[in-house]
Amino acid sequence: MISPNLDVILFEATVPVPFERAWVVQRQLQQRLLDYPEGPDTVVLLEHEPCYTLGRGASEAFLRFDPAAPPLPLHRIDRGGEVTHHAPGQLVLYPVLNLQRHGADLHLYLRQLEQVVIDVMAGLDLQGERIDGLTGVWLEGRKLAAIGVGARRWISQHGLALNVDCDLAGFAAVVPCGLGDRPVGRLVDWRPQLNAQQLRRPLLDAFASSFGLVLRPSNPQDGVFKL
């Protein structure tokens, strides 16, 4: 029998999801762990419909448009970090974890999420890079993965976004992560045959391995969380 601390429920969407819907589900999953901290962790894997998100303290100075009339849906949310862009072809992983099982250290948690991406890239024979003082993963000076998290009483939400074969045009309307001198990139520019669908399982496997978890599909006893 799998230990409850290692038994993690996977919720996976097969079509792009509006940000609002995914945020509702994250908060529902977070509240469930807040109410019952001994319950199983969960992880959500999806791609988003095109949008922008701002961290809780993010500056609108990094928007290259009027926030009252955004070119795509714009959401201010309760994660750390500045503005980022989501679009199909970008894999988004939202772990909802009781972090007291995983070190109870937000800085360690960010480094673990970076390691997940670095491990995925290593499987493609690419060397992902960290930059001192910054959060995320880079390749040859281009940022491929943005990471921003939030937590309530050590129950996490939000997570990482890895650019695989997404259209990067939407990033031109913002200063991604507030880093004007560090351009974004995507894996397909180094591995032209790659697509996001092919990388879903490697990303989940790297996440499970990094955190010592076992992923399983949801069942009726877990409740209904529709993405």
Report the distance separating Cα 213 and Cα 41, nearest Å: 9
Output the six-digit token pair for 56: 């809780």
Half-sphere exposure of 215 (CA within 13 A, CB side): 21
For residue 6, give Cα distances in angstroms to 38, 110, 120, 216: 11, 19, 21, 10
Closest residue by Cα to residue 155 from 31, 25, 10: 31
Residues annotated catalytic, as ranges: 177
Residue 11 forms beta bridges with which residues?
Answer: 44
- Phi, psi angle pair for 204, to nearest 5°: -65, -40
Alpha-carbon span 41 to 97, nearest angstrom: 5
What are the structure tokens assigned to 114, written together?
Answer: 């970076």
